[in-house]
Amino acid sequence: MQKTLEKSITIKGTGLHSGCEVTLTLNPAPENTGIVFKRTDLPLQPEIKALYSNIVDTRNCSCLGDGKGNLVSTIEHLMGALYIKGIDNALIEVDNQELPIMDGSAKVFYDILQDLPLREQKAPRRFLKILKEVCFTDDKGNSVTLKPAEKGLHIKFDIEFPSKIVGHQEFDRDISEDVFVSEIAPCRTFCEKYQVDYLKSIGLIKGGSLENAVVLDGETILNEGGFRVKNECVNHKVLDAIGDLYTSGHQVIGRLEASKTGHFHTNELLKKLFADQNNYEII
Ligand SMILES: [Zn+2]
């Protein structure tokens, strides 16, 4: 059956780009609502459903838009936590253009959801079952593929970075809540120091700090304490992929194989998948 929250919960944090305090309130929502964001700071309080077809920017995060210039960005880590907790319906109020970055991972969101009572609803949950292999490849040859699977979601992901501290990392697991909690939720966004310096110089990431990202400087990690888990970087990419897959509107029965891809690729893959009804089934 579908699930929603038993009661509302408010989370406060800092916006990565604005550096402002952002208040996020997760509310219960009726059956078949899906995950809907509402900008409470704007006069008309526009609502935007978290669907792949409403993603308007994938450069640094997944950003939703309503086609009228209203945006909600950096949804992917919260979406990952909602996916794994099996929350089908929620109305999420946010008083800023971006969600709070928290510690750059899904850990805070997951821990809050974990403590919340959920309510089983009256409609059955419907899953997205992949029937045919669909692949999106970019002009550099990096690709992401969805394939049929017997049950659940399996993700295989690899990345390759010049810095030896990251190097080649691979993830290849069934996605269960246990795996999510121990290996995926704590994994933070990562970047290079020169990228941070550049983004700060053009007025972005005002809220960025070592409190909400892993920052690499050549062969050095600037965060005290280093990485939180082995292969934190690729595991964070898996978190992003789960959150982005949830913009399909469903839990997925399939296998995702990705090599050096990001938000853009997953979004293009979903567009390609849904463009042909022979590719999938909603069951
Ligand atoms: Zn991310």
pLDDT confidence of residue 162 = 86
The gap from C-alpha 178 to its chain's centroid, in whole angstroms, comes to 18
Distances in whole angstroms, Cα of residue 199 to Cα of each of 192, 209, 215, 259: 11, 12, 13, 25
C-alpha 80 to ligand 1 mean position (Å)? 10
In the reported structure, the alpha carbon of residue 27 is separated from the centroid of ligand 1 by a whole-number distance in angstroms of 23
Task: List the one residue out of 227, 251, 261, 122 whose CA is nearest residue 177.
Answer: 251
Can you give the residue ranges of every domain in the chain?
3-120, 128-282
Give yes or no for a contact between 64 and 55, defined as CB atoms under 8 angstroms apart. yes
The tokens for 166 are 């990251």
Identify which of 254, 247, 245, 246 has the alpha carbon closest to the alpha carbon of residue 280.
254
Q: How far apart are CA 153 and CA 176, in angstroms?
A: 8
* CA 235 – ligand 1 centroid, Å: 10
For the record, the structure tokens of 233 come out as 């970087």
Q: How far is the CA of 121 from the centre of ligand 1 (A)?
A: 30
Rounded distance, CA 279 to CA 107, Å? 33
Centroid of ligand 1 to alpha carbon of 59 (angstroms)? 11
What the block records as the tokens of 10 is 């408010």
Distances (CA, A) of 127 to 66, 153, 180, 246, 248: 25, 11, 19, 11, 10
Q: Is the entire prediction scored with pTM above 0.85?
A: yes
Q: Mean pLDDT for each consecutive 10-residue tract of the chain (283 residues)?
A: 97 94 98 98 97 95 96 97 98 97 97 96 98 98 97 97 92 98 97 91 91 93 95 98 98 98 98 98 97
Q: What pLDDT sits at residue 163?
A: 86
Buried b (16+ CB within 10 A) or exposed e, 261-273: bbbbbbbbbbeeb
Asked, colleague to colleague, whether 3-120 and 128-282 share their fold, the answer is: no
**Alpha carbon distance 170, 102 (integer Å):** 25
Residue 16 to residue 59: CA distance in whole angstroms: 14
Which residues are catalytically annotated? 263
What's the pLDDT at 58?
Answer: 95
Return the CATH class of domain 3-120.
Answer: alpha beta
Which CATH fold would you assign to the domain 128-282?
A: lpxc deacetylase, domain 1 (3.30.1700)
Task: Please tell me the distance between residue 190's alpha carbon and the centre of ligand 1 in angstroms.
Answer: 8
Q: How far apart are CA 189 and CA 76, in angstroms?
A: 11
CA dist., res. 274 & res. 99, Å (int) = 27
Whole-angstrom distance, CA of residue 267 vs CA of residue 57 = 10
